[in-house]
Amino acid sequence: MYKEEFNPSQVMTERYFEFHHTYNEFPPTVEFHQHPFYEIFFFLSGNVNYIIEGKNYTLRPGDILLTGSSDMHRPDIHPGKPYERIVIWLADDFFGHLKDLYGEDLTACFTDAALNDYRLIRPDGQNILRLKHLCTQISEAKHSREIGSTALASAYLTEFLVHVSRAYYDAPDSIQYDVTENEKINQVLQYINENLTESLSLDHLAGQFYLSKYYLSRQFKQFTGLSLYQYILKKRLILSRNLLRSGCPVTDACLQCGFRDYSNYLKVFKREFGKTPRAYSSPKGSSQKT
């Protein structure tokens, strides 16, 4: 299977999907990030805890993580073992194409994982071997110049998605022991995500959950990896980006996501996503998976 250099940009440049098999002898630095497409993270080796929306997943080789367009995530990579993984990025259009062909929605496991706030799949040994073999076939087809190679890569990927979906719904409850979380912080996160347009100051949240401001700040940073301010800002920006992609006017996206200062919104949006909201909402901008 072909291996690549790690690219921290998190930018999808292909139309429907991208397949990346990456190996690092020494731990790379990866910041918290999110992207407007689906991601399947297939862990192969390393000492890694993966943080997704306040939950810390202790990974074993063969584990799979599912993230969508609103999930902030980051691997916490420790030295001692090579860090190897397969990452597959999938555009909405790819799933739409599959649904048109087969009448099945293979995004269901992503949706269910987000609703349950639990994104880890731990396939059994036989399924891990099957998924690795399919990854090898996808990789070879992607790098082949023979006629029909693109179609083969899509076919192998479709089979891969079917097995991932089945593994998700067959996952044993025992894997939850490898997840570290804080129930009170989970409640705060849920409240934030349901009230992004409202005042979400530290004083307000501490009063809402009967916590001291110091305790809330410290625990929030410990379990999410971000300060309260950073998390709220990023979630508001993600929401506004997704609204823009759906055709929402820039000024409406600004107001609907809790921003009171339009000029500040423009500045922080460009800093986060590398382009202005107006460029992102244009037909050209919205087709780019950044």
The tens-digit pLDDT sequence of the chain (290 residues) is: 767 777 767 778 898 999 999 999 999 988 898 888 999 999 999 999 999 998 999 999 999 999 998 899 999 999 999 999 999 999 988 999 999 999 999 999 999 999 988 999 999 999 999 999 999 999 999 999 999 999 999 999 999 999 999 999 887 665 666 788 888 999 999 999 999 988 899 999 999 999 999 999 999 998 888 999 999 999 999 999 989 988 899 999 999 998 988 999 999 999 888 888 988 775 544 433 33
**183-286: CATH class:** mainly alpha
For residue 175, the Cα-to-chain-centroid distance in whole angstroms is 20
Delimit the CATH 2.60.120.280 region(s) of the chain. Answer: 17-179
Delimit the CATH 1.10.10.60 region(s) of the chain. Answer: 183-286
Q: Could you tell me what percentage of the chain is helix, strand and coil, using 3-state DSSP and rounding each to the nearest 5?
A: 50, 20, 35
The H or E element containing residue 154 is helix 149-169
d(CA 205, CA 287): 37
Going by their DSSP bridges, the two strands 55-58 and 83-90 should be labelled as unpaired
Task: Give the end-to-end CA distance of the chain in Å, rounded to a whole number.
Answer: 26
CB 192: neighbour CB atoms within 10 A? 18
Going by their DSSP bridges, the two strands 120-121 and 83-90 should be labelled as unpaired
Among residues 72, 76, 110, which one has the least CA distance to residue 90?
A: 110
Domain spanning 17-179: CATH 2.60.120.280 = yes
Quick one: tokens of 88? 């597959």
